[in-house]
Amino acid sequence: MGGVILWFRRFFNPRISLTSRWSDKFVLTWVMLTLILGLLTIPTSIGHAGHGDPRVVTSLAEWIQSIVYLYPNPAFIEGVDMVFKLHLFCGMTVFLIFPFTRLVHIWSAPFSYLTRAYQLVRTKKLKYQEIDRYDLGKSPEQ
Asked if residue 69 belongs to a domain, the reply is: yes
> What residues make up the domain containing 84?
22-108
Q: What is the pLDDT of residue 2?
A: 87
pTM score of the predicted model: 0.68
Asked if residue 6 belongs to a domain, the reply is: no
Asked if residue 52 belongs to a domain, the reply is: yes
Q: What is the pLDDT of residue 121?
A: 79
Q: How far apart are CA 42 and CA 36, in angstroms?
A: 10
Question: Which CATH number belongs to the domain containing residue 72 in this structure?
Answer: 1.20.950.20
| pLDDT above 90 for 140 | no
Q: Are 24 and 101 in contact (CB under 8 A)?
A: yes
Q: Is 43 exposed, middle or buried (0-12, 13-18, 19+ CB in 10 A)?
A: exposed
Total domains in the fold of the chain? 1
Q: How far apart are CA 43 and CA 41, in angstroms?
A: 6
Smallest CA-to-CA distance from 88 within 56, 54, 63 is with 63
Give whichever of 46-50, 85-89, 118-122 has the largest mean pLDDT: 85-89
DSSP-assigned states of every residue in 57-98? HHHHHHHHHHHHTT---GGGGTTS-HHHHHHHHHHHHHHHHG
Identify which has the larger pLDDT, 121 or 16. 16
Q: Are 44 and 84 in contact (CB under 8 A)?
A: yes
